[in-house]
Structure 1
Amino acid sequence: MTVCRHRLLLACLLWLLAPPAAFAQDAAVARAPATGDAVVDARLADINRYAARYPDAFIDELVRYFDAPRPLLQDLLGRQERKPGDLYYACALARVSGRPCRGVIEAWSAGHADGWPGIARDLGVEPGDARAKRLREGMVESYRRWGRPLPDAG
C-alpha cells in the first residue's frame, strides 16, 4: 500500500510540474523573430511550430530552395541555438539579396543594434520594396510545397 501511495504521489507531482514546462516549450517554439512585418512574423511563428514537428522537411526546404548548408542547420537546430523561423528568415533574406545563407546567419549571430529590421536594411531589403515582396512570395511557395495553409496574418 505504501508503494502505491508513493507512486501516486510521484505521478501527481509530475503531472503538476509538467504542464508549465510544456507550455513554456510551446511558447518558445511559437516565438517569431521581430522582423517589423506582422505578416512575416505570423508566418515565421507558424514555421517554428512546423519545424518542431517536421524538422527534416524544414531543413530540406532550406537546403534545396535557399542553398543553406545542411550541416550548419542541423547543428544550430540540434543545439537549439536558433529558432527555425530565424533560420528561415535569414535564408530568405539571403536569397532575395543575392547573399549566401551562411553569411546572413553569421551576420545575425553577430548581432545588430536594430535586430532583424536593421539586418534587412543592411542587405538592401526595405519594407514594401520589391525584395520584401519576393521574400513574402517565397514564403507562400514554401507553404505550398509543405502542403500547409497560410496562417492568418491579421
Structure 2
Amino acid sequence: MNRKLFAATLAFGLAASTGAQALVDDIAVGFSPRTGDAWVDTRLGDINVYARGNTDGFIDDVVVSFGAPRVLVRDLYYDRGWAPGDIYYACAIAHQLGRPCLEVADYYQHNRGQGWGVVAQRLGIKPGSDAFHALKGKVGKGHDRMHGRGGPKASGGSRDGREQGPPPGRGQGGGKPDKGNKGGKGNGR
C-alpha cells in the first residue's frame, strides 16, 4: 500500500471512530445525576444508553409510566437536550410527589448544579425515607422494562398503556390519559 493511501485510510478511520467515541463519552462520562445513591445513578446511566438506541420506546415508557405529557418529554429530549436519565428521574420524582413533571423539570433546570439528590430532598424526598425507596423502585422497574426484564414492554411492549399494578402494599396515584398515547392510562400528573 502506498503512503498516501495508507495516510488517507488512517485519517478516515480516526475521524469515524472519533464521532462514535464522542457519543459514548457523552453518554458514559458526561452524565452525572448525583442522586446520592450509586445504584440509582448507574441505572439512570443505563437508561441513557437504552434511550439513545430506542428513543421512541423511551419516550413511550416515560409517558405511560408517569403520565408525563408526550410533548414535554419530547421537548426535554430534543429541544432542551436533556439526558434521558434526567428526564426519567424528573418524571419519576414528579409521579412520586403527585406533581406535574413540568414543575419538577423546571425546578431542576434552575437548580441543575445541585444534582438530583439535593433537588429531591428540597422537593420533600428525604434519603432513606419510604418515598425515596419507592422512587428507587420506580427507577429499577423502568430500567428492567427497558432492558427486557419484566413488565409488559419486555415481551414486545403493550402500546395500549397497560402496566402491571403496584407492588403489594403500595398505592399508586391516578392520572389522566395522555392524548398522544393511543388511549393508554397515565399514572401520574
Q: TM-score range by the shorter chain?
A: 0.7 to 0.9
Q: Deviations over 1:92-114 (max 9, x none)?
A: 11111111111111111112553
Tell me which residue corresponds to 1:17. 15
Deviation at 1:69, TM superposition (A): 1.6
Tell me which residue corresponds to 2:130. 130
Tell me which residue corresponds to 2:158. none
TM-score, normalised with respect to structure 2: 0.69
Deviation at 1:24, TM superposition (A): 2.2
Tell me which residue corresponds to 1:90. 90
User: Amino acid of the residue matched to residue 66 of structure 1?
Assistant: F
2:26 aligned with 1:28, yes or no?
A: yes
8 Å Cα contact 1:32-1:86 kept in structure 2: no
- Evaluate the alpha carbon distance shift between residue 114 and residue 143 of structure 1 in structure 2; reply closer, same or farther with a 3 A threshold: closer
TM-score, normalised with respect to structure 1: 0.83
CA distance in 2, matches of 1:19, 1:145: 31
Structure 2, unaligned runs of 5 or more: 151-189
- Evaluate the alpha carbon distance shift between residue 27 and residue 136 of structure 1 in structure 2; reply closer, same or farther with a 3 A threshold: same
Worse-matched range after superposition: 18-27 or 138-147: 138-147
Deviation at 1:9, TM superposition (A): 4.5
Larger helix fraction of residues: 1
Structure 1, unaligned runs of 5 or more: none
After superposition, the CA RMSD in angstroms is 2.4
